[in-house]
Amino acid sequence: MYNWDGDRIIRGASLAGQGSRWIYSPEPADRRVDCTWLRNIRIDPRELITQGPNAMIAGAINEILSKNAIPPTDELGSLDRRAMAAWKHVAENIDYRPDGALENWQMPSETLARGHGDCEDTAFLLGSLLSALGVSPFCYRVTFGLVVDSSSGRRLHAWVNYKDESGVWRLLESTCTAGDISTMATYAGTDICFPNADSLACGATGKSGTTLVYRPTIVLNHVHVWTVN
């Protein structure tokens, strides 16, 4: 079984260059696409979990709160309801779209503005929304690893883990569509509709008959990055 909190902190220079962003360049640079030069910027992945004032994140939070009857954070069950509302917001508003030839990690505000992103883009957005909704960084991780799917094979992937109010780590697949969320819940058999992370790590078969196995290698919040053994 995996330690979803993380086993060993990665420090200092080991973090440099783990993330990849492409920006426009006025002069010849690393890559040319459609007559435009692009420069590759290597970044610390923790920078992609938005903290502090941000107009796009604030707008998404206002929309989430206006659509959901969510009690204050000190009421029992409020954090679980906030996590579910954030997960559904990403599922309903962000389309999954692979990067293609250029792997580019979007800022959460870019993902909101564009309405699409790939797995790490949606994972960083969901982590940012959880944080903005009052979920402690002790209780969520943006996770990188491998997914083995009985219907399509294995692939590198990113998702979010959330520790619910009973202390159980749950797995929030950030590339879900709105309809997929109920399907994901069948992999856990839980009454709060959050798939159990341990169940999916061991290999769980859902109602569709597809078996999924999630294998984490790196987890992070906006403070630390950990390896997972």
Tokens encoding 159: 């998702």
Domain of residue 200, CATH code: 3.10.620
| Of 206 and 38, the one with more pLDDT | 206
Q: Is residue 1 part of a domain?
A: no
Q: Is residue 2 part of a domain?
A: no
Dist CA 54 CA 88 (whole Å):
20
**Domain count across the chain:** 1
Q: Is residue 3 part of a domain?
A: no
* Neighbouring residues of 23: CB distance < 8 A, sequence distance ≥ 6: 38, 39, 41
Q: Is residue 178 part of a domain?
A: yes
Please write the tens of the pLDDT for every residue from 190-223.
Answer: 445 788 899 889 887 766 677 889 999 999 999 9
Please write the tens of the pLDDT for every residue from 76-128.
Answer: 889 999 999 999 999 999 999 987 766 778 889 999 999 999 999 999 999 99
Q: Is residue 121 part of a domain?
A: yes
Contact between 44 and 19 (Cβ < 8 Å): yes
Q: Is residue 90 part of a domain?
A: yes
Please write the tens of the pLDDT for every residue from 130-151.
Answer: 999 999 999 999 999 999 987 7
> How far is the CA of 194 from the CAs of 42, 64, 87, 197, 220, in angstroms?
34, 18, 10, 9, 20
Range of the domain at 27: 8-227
Its pTM stands at 0.86
